[in-house]
Chain A
Amino acid sequence: MTDRRHVLQMGALAAVALAAAPACSEDADEPDAPPPVPDAQQSEEIALIAAYDAAIATAGPARAAEYQRIRDEHAAHLRALGWEAPPATTQSPTPPASVRALRRAEIGAGRSHAAAAVRETDQERAQLLALIAASESQHASALAAL
């Protein structure tokens, strides 16, 4: 009987703990809060932003300006995809990429976002993904012209 009551109390505590969990995870200052995990589409953007940040650091002024413009467009994609956290904080340092490598990354991300747009059943998100893929096509062309 005692054991059963104990189990019930534990159950009640667990329920409270579960109910409290979402509030905790919203608290940015909470050290134990798990970092948000980006989905596949957000991850593509986060990786590209890190690649451009690394490339900007070593590029000449003209090329750095173009990289910065493209990097900012990826940051806009990432925000539109619902990712609010600063993109670079959890990234390990990325070695600077060549123009060719950046272009390959744009082509890969564009393909992935295009495929996601085809599959996506939410109309608004499907259109968003198609426009992101279109922007990445523009980036690949712009990099080819550098």
Chain B
Amino acid sequence: MSETLGAALAGEYAAIYAYGRAGGRLRTGQDVALAQLSRHRTDRDQLRAWLIADGQQPEPPAPAYQLPGPVTTDTQARALLATVQLRLIPVLVALLTDQTDEARRRWAVRAVRRAATSAQGWGATGQAFPWPEGLAPPV
């Protein structure tokens, strides 16, 4: 039973929801947001497939997610996407604590790196150890 796969899947669901909410408010970069949304759908499907391969039933997404604030302007939409990407990092990097399959580990590291660059692309400040604000880093 892997809790980290389920947590990563929950993170991807939340990210997909956030892209849906933020996408229409972006003044520029909609194409980037659409490409990233498509990537998150692929990642969601991959995590579901691994859960099923491990004999687990993937949880469905929540009907809605609480957003950190209103999303009516371009600035707010960018801040939401930056936050969502940074919040994916802890659940993605946690896969390295219990996944031993090399392909899954490689996937996890790639996903962590992508989340960090996407967050920066939406305006997050660069960090020596990219991590969401307010959470204790693992290192």
Contact = CB atoms under 8 A, between A and B. Distances in A.
B130 A134 contact: yes
Q: Give the bracket for the number of chain A residues in contact with chain B.
A: 20 to 34
A123 B96 contact: yes
Interface in A25-52: none
A142 B128 contact: no
A87 interface: no
A69 interface: yes
Contacts of A140: 117
B126 A127 contact: no
Interface of A: 69-70, 72-74, 76-77, 80, 110, 114, 117-118, 120, 123-124, 126-128, 130-135, 137-142
B137 to A, nearest CB: 8
Give the residue among B89, B109, B110, B117 with the most A Cβ atoms within 10 A: B109
Given A134-B116, A135-B127, A114 B110 contact: yes
A133 B111 CA distance: 11
A141 B117 contact: yes
Contacts of A114: 109-110, 113
B138 A127 contact: yes
Interface residues of B, number: 28
B31 interface: no
The 10 closest A-B pairs by CB, nearest first: A134-B116, A76-B128, A73-B128, A137-B113, A126-B96, A131-B129, A123-B97, A118-B105, A138-B126, A128-B139
Contact of B116 (A76, A117, A123, A138): A138
A117 B127 contact: no
Give the residue among B89, B114, B117, B137 with the most A Cβ atoms within 10 A: B117
Give the residue among B102, B113, B117 with the most A Cβ atoms within 10 A: B113
Given A80-B139, A142-B120, A70 B113 contact: no
Given A130-B96, A131-B131, A134-B115, 13 more contacts: A70-B126, A120-B96, A126-B105, A127-B93, A128-B139, A130-B108, A131-B139, A133-B109, A133-B112, A133-B113, A138-B116, A139-B126, A141-B120
